[in-house]
Amino acid sequence: MAGSEPKRTGSAGRMLRLALFACACALLAGCGGDRSSLVIVTTNDVGGKTSPCGCHTPKGGLARKATFLDSVRTKHANVLALDAGGFFPATDDEREAAPFMLAEMARMGTAAAGVGANELRYGYAFAREHARSAGVPLVSANLVKYPDGQPAFEGWRIVESGGYKVGVFGLLSRTAELGPARDSLRADDPDSCATTAIAALRKAGAEIVVLLSQLGKAEGESLATRVKGIDLVVGGGGVPVLPSGQKVAGAIALYGGNQGWHVGVADVRLTKERRVLDVAAKTVVLDPAVRNQPAMEARVKAFEDSMNAHLQARDAAMGAGVTPGANVAHYVGMSNCIKCHVPEFEQWKQSPHAKAWATLTEQHKESTPACVGCHVTGYREPGGFRTADDAARLGNVQCESCHGMGTDHRKWVDEGNTVAEATCRKCHTETTSPTFTMAAYRPHVLHTPPAGLKPLPESPAKRLMREGKAPH
């Protein structure tokens, strides 16, 4: 996770990251078009993230992944791109990103992808037809149609790179949420399905066998210990980030976290008899040291602009969410609060919360659902923020974000007026705000700040924006 990485600031830190990226490419991609090994570049649990979040040091994004793959392919003759699944968005709002992700995965040469719960959230036919249209083969050895038990997708397939035959199969946990497909699909026993897949792949001539796992770390490692014949496990289904490949029985497992912040790279070397001799594997962070590929960056921006425009139009059509005169709890906007709380308002204007909306507009994320909720007041709640047209009234983290709906003001007074840490943690998560602690941050939003309060250190994201290097 980001919190475990050494903190570097200024040009020295950037030069170090560039050097580390160059070294990673040189070490993992071989030298001078080396044909004695196969490099497998992996991703997992990307969750529809087409571009980096700007909340901290921006990581990931399709444009950086494209650059990384270009670099590896320049240095190495045999490169295979695989995805363990979980690449569809995790929300209904971002449904449009699903086919876009598939199209760009195909453009980057993804040879096969696993199937996770995200891929099924919009229905079985949606995933199958869009994958088929894009040309990205989806593989799952244990996901079958109910009740006849016929494969829902390809169970496994042989893919070739530079004369190497790589057998790829996918597995989904039996406890995974199948969404709208729950009545038409089921996940069978992973062990028996893995055994069948491996035998079929070896019989078809597979020299390397790769599992695209949506089993999670514990279940995936347990299976790789029990079922022999797997050379590489690409972990997915909610896994951590580990810097290097983990030895699991006869296999090596790669764990790249989520959101596409990291890619896994496995350098597989074979003997003259075409048996796996060694797998050197590690993860590489796609931070600002990896520049955006211009063509991919332009396509991503065009797509995000289009999707955000559609969302704005939809939200505008939905209206404010409160019928005039309705006797329901709702947000009223800060203009009502400051009638009685002028000193608190004056203090709030100097706080980071008062600038939350501007940080979105500067990054052109003002309609991105995953970002908006933490930069406005009452997002999609009764009386709350709906579209950018509401920014003047409900933009920024206003009074009601911390103190509750204005119509419940009496309850706030009667039940106590201390903001719970859980309220802050809804937005200040380990992902979006890895440096957050109540002790350090709370004094900066108190309406009576302590004397001698020192400013919070500049976040990596703000530094990049100040230097004009923030991602688009």
**Quick one: pLDDT band at residue 339, thresholds 50, 70, 90?**
confident
Question: If you average pLDDT over residues 152-179, what whole number do you get?
Answer: 95
CB within 8 Å of 244: residues ≥ 6 apart: 281, 282, 283
Residue 459 in this model has a pLDDT that exceeds 90: no
Residue 116 in this model has a pLDDT that exceeds 80: yes
Residue 313: per-residue pLDDT: 79
Residue 30: per-residue pLDDT: 41
Residue 21: per-residue pLDDT: 55
* DSSP three-state, residue 116: coil
Beta strands across the sheet bearing 79-83: 138-139, 110-114, 79-83, 37-43, 262-270, 276-285
- State how far the Cα of 57 lies from the Cα of 76, in Å rounded to an integer: 29
Q: Are the C-beta atoms of residues 50 and 274 closer than 8 Å to each other?
A: no
Across 392-402, b (16+ Cβ under 10 Å) vs e yields ebbbbbbbbbb
Residue 386: per-residue pLDDT: 85
Residue 190: per-residue pLDDT: 98
Question: If you average pLDDT over residues 412-427, what whole number do you get?
Answer: 84
Q: Which fold has domain 2-294?
A: Purple Acid Phosphatase; chain A, domain 2 (3.60.21)
pTM above 0.95, yes or no: no
Residue 267: per-residue pLDDT: 96
Residue 254 in this model has a pLDDT that exceeds 50: yes
Residue 460: per-residue pLDDT: 64
Residue 319: per-residue pLDDT: 60
- State how far the Cα of 79 lies from the Cα of 75, in Å rounded to an integer: 10
* DSSP three-state, residue 95: coil
Mark residue 396 as left, alpha or beta (left: phi above 0; alpha: psi -120 to 50; beta: remaining).
Answer: left
**Quick one: pLDDT band at residue 157, thresholds 50, 70, 90?**
very high
Residue 320 in this model has a pLDDT that exceeds 70: no
* Eight-state DSSP code of residue 179: G
Question: If you average pLDDT over residues 379-397, what whole number do you get?
Answer: 88
Q: 386 or 248, which is more confident? A: 248
Cβ neighbour number for residue 36 with a 10 Å cutoff: 11
Residue 308: per-residue pLDDT: 83
Sign of the dihedral through C-alpha 358, 406, 420, 449? positive
CB within 8 Å of 392: residues ≥ 6 apart: none
The percentage of residues in the chain with a pLDDT greater than 90, rounded to a whole number, is 57
Residue 472 in this model has a pLDDT that exceeds 60: no
Q: Please write the tens of the pLDDT for every residue from 438-450.
A: 888 888 888 888 8
Domain boundary assignment for the chain: 2-294, 321-466
Residue 29: per-residue pLDDT: 41
